[in-house]
Amino acid sequence: MSILIFTLIILIGSYFAGLLGSLTGLGGGFIIIPLLTLLLHVDIHYAIGASLISVIATSSGAAAAYVKEGITNIRIGMFLEIATTAGAMVGAILALYIPTSYIAIIFGCILIFSVINSLRKKSEKIITEKTYLSNKLKLSSSYPGPKGTVNYGVTNVIGGFFMMIFAGVISGLLGIGSGALKVIAMDGIMRIPFKVSTTTSNFMIGVTAAASAVVYLQRGYIDPGISMPVVIGVLLGALSGSKILVNSKSSGWLRWTFVIVVTVLAVQMIYHGLAGKI
């Protein structure tokens, strides 16, 4: 395979990874890593390094649009980043010592978990309850809805914080944004509206990935020849995705597209991990 074809495949694949990653709040890593390891036979450590850079690009591209629209809760994002950044550093260090086949299997399992979570019926009930801690940290906020401003409260701050530590470890270990776990922490545990959870996750994953990327950069696992087309493709896809999400009224088609693509990739990653082909 020539360098030109290799680069074009990465560029096109990265665009769709950025598009789906932006729309779901999961980052582009869940497609980038299988694309590089299964299709292009890139070493998984280099794939994770490129994926981390792509996650930073996805977050940068999508987060700016969501912040401008007033949906992202920056205060919650910055507070929870304390937990995810610490976890990401631990995960990145662990990834350097865990066998690649094990990483592939763990990655596949996390993908399956992401699929199951995406099929879970999301509660649209907005809570206005404020706990002592959320009130002290001023985490409650509002976002523009179709019928005007929607105010919401935040609960179980401690539970969400500890879930974010685990999300950070997974992010550093696998090179993904671990957006599924972040959304669960905010939507399921802290009872933040799903739209706010998704956009705030997009805002956070770049910072989490940046913490992990430092470790991979020091070990030489970030290759410019791989990372450059990944970043360009993912950034363009993320910008496209942010425009679609802001203007969309229904996300049912997106959810099923995500389920089909990620399920196939998850099965492939687990199979290749168990067979020792990665």
Residue from 5, 6, 2, 60 nearest 28 by CA: 60
Helices H, strands E: what count in the chain?
A: 11, 2
pLDDT in tens, 127-140: 777 788 888 888 88
Residue 123 CB neighbours (<10 A) = 12
75 class by beta-carbon count within 10 Å (0-12 exposed, 13-18 middle, 19+ buried): middle
pLDDT surpassing 90 at residue 226: yes
pLDDT surpassing 70 at residue 251: no
| pLDDT attached to residue 19 | 83
| pLDDT attached to residue 123 | 56
Lookup result for tokens 């976002």: 143
Please indicate whether residue 277 or residue 14 has the higher confidence score (pLDDT).
14
Residues sharing a CB contact under 8 Å with residue 45, sequence separation 6 or more, in sequence order: 95, 96, 100, 216, 219, 221
Q: For residue 127, give its domain range.
A: 3-274
Angle (CA) 272-171-185 rounded to 5° is: 120
Handedness of CA 245, 125, 260, 10 (dihedral sign): positive
Alpha helices in 25-150 (DSSP H): 29-34, 44-69, 74-95, 100-119, 132-136
| pLDDT attached to residue 34 | 85
Question: What's the mean pLDDT in 229-253?
Answer: 76
Q: Given pLDDT bands bounded at 50, 70 and 90, which one contains residue 119?
A: confident
Note the residue count of the chain: 278
| pLDDT attached to residue 146 | 73
| pLDDT attached to residue 197 | 84
Distance CA 213, CA 172 (A): 8
Say what percent of the chain tops pLDDT 90.
Answer: 13
Distance CA 141, CA 153 (A): 7
Q: Given pLDDT bands bounded at 50, 70 and 90, which one contains residue 252?
A: low
Say what percent of the chain tops pLDDT 70.
Answer: 88
Q: Given pLDDT bands bounded at 50, 70 and 90, which one contains residue 124?
A: low
| pLDDT attached to residue 20 | 77
| pLDDT attached to residue 16 | 87
Residues sharing a CB contact under 8 Å with residue 31, sequence separation 6 or more, in sequence order: 13, 16, 17, 20, 21, 261, 262, 265
pLDDT in tens, 174-219: 877 666 678 778 887 888 887 788 788 878 887 888 888 888 888 8
pLDDT surpassing 90 at residue 10: yes
Query: Mean pLDDT over all residues of the chain?
Result: 82
| pLDDT attached to residue 62 | 65
Q: Given pLDDT bands bounded at 50, 70 and 90, which one contains residue 6?
A: very high
Question: What's the mean pLDDT in 9-38?
Answer: 80
pLDDT in tens, 43-83: 988 998 898 887 787 777 667 777 777 888 889 989 999 99
| pLDDT attached to residue 82 | 92
Distance CA 177, CA 205 (A): 5
**Total structural domains within the chain:** 1
